[in-house]
Amino acid sequence: MSIAEARAYNTLSEALEKHTGQTVPANRHWRIDMALKPLMRRNSVPDLQTLAALIEIDADPKLTRACVEAMVNNETSFFRDQPNFALLTGPVLDNIRDLRMDKKRLRIWSAACSTGQEAYSLAIAIAENAEKWRGWTVQILGTDVSASALAQAREGRYSQFEIQRGLPVMQMLRHFEQQGEEWVAKDSIRKMVTFTEHNMLTPVRHFGRFDVILCRNMLMYLSDEKRTHVLESIAPSLEDGGLLMLGAAETVIGQTQKFRASKEFRGFYETSQQQENAQVAKLSLTG
Ligand SMILES: C[S@@+](CC[C@H](N)C(=O)[O-])C[C@H]1O[C@@H](n2cnc3c(N)ncnc32)[C@H](O)[C@@H]1O
């Protein structure tokens, strides 16, 4: 690789890190090339060095943004990490349901939701247990830094390839309708889900508090420092008794003191404050 090419990769990966916190190690720089080819063709940019020069001076903020969005890893699928997702939609939600019987309100935040499959998977799981959730207000908020991923999430429109990833055929037929080559979410699941743009590096907006926060497969691309920052900024958004769910390869351990592993649910985390409150309550009962 020439020095000019190496400089171009650095400029582009720095732009990605500046806007999203996501880092691309040097041995994965080839991904940048692959991700940006269609954008370069569309904008008649002859090579990576020219693109990097335009991004460096932020010649066109729209181009910079499109470039960042093309580089970000949007990989997702329905019911991703099936065993963990089954724990969430089974025992974890049952536990939350018992805790919230008085208000009958369930709020879930799918943070870094990409094109929405995670949020719709939750809506499907709840719709499939309609009897359990009858009379409940269910709100699922999906947020992401990528406007283009969110545009697809809002439309709830998936290609044949996307819809088949993780979604059993019977559920596909029940909750989506076919429009040409694509599949579109039906209103019955769509009504539970809303999407809005949010960068996890910025202070959490007034979303209110949640019973479950999913922040999966996004922290793994951040530096340690930014990972701690994101975890600590979302901690106050969890309701009492609420749980944080991370990706299968992610953990809070060694990242922050604000969360601890749930004793009951493997792969889920509660705030340290909650665990302390529970201990105090137990001591005052036994004392
Ligand atoms: C690999 S996808 C994971 C999607 C989904 N959570 C899952 O596990 O299937 C990572 C998502 O994180 C989003 N993302 C990256 N950096 C972000 C940031 N700073 N704030 C919000 N979203 C971010 C990306 O746009 C992308 O959609």
Determine the pLDDT at residue 182.
98
Mutate to test the pocket of ligand 1, among 22, 118, 120, 145 (most ligand atoms within 8 A of CB): 145
Determine the pLDDT at residue 4.
86
Please list every protein residue whose CB sits less than 6 Å from any atom of ligand 1: 20-22, 72-76, 80, 112-114, 118, 144-146, 149, 199-201, 216-218, 247
Contact criterion met (CB below 8 Å) for 145 and 198: yes
What domains are there in the chain, each with its CATH number?
3-71 (no CATH), 82-280 (3.40.50.150)
Shortest-distance atom of ligand 1 to CA 247:
8
Determine the pLDDT at residue 27.
85
The rounded Å distance from CA 217 to ligand 1 centre is 7
The rounded Å distance from CA 146 to ligand 1 centre is 8
Walk along the chain (287 residues) in steps of 10 and give the mean pLDDT of each run: 88 95 88 93 95 94 95 96 96 97 98 98 97 97 97 98 97 97 97 98 94 97 96 96 95 94 94 78 74
Determine the pLDDT at residue 278.
75
Q: Which of 60, 7, 13, 67 is nearest to 37 (CA)?
A: 67
Residues in the chain: 287
Determine the pLDDT at residue 285.
72
Determine the pLDDT at residue 287.
66
Determine the pLDDT at residue 25.
85
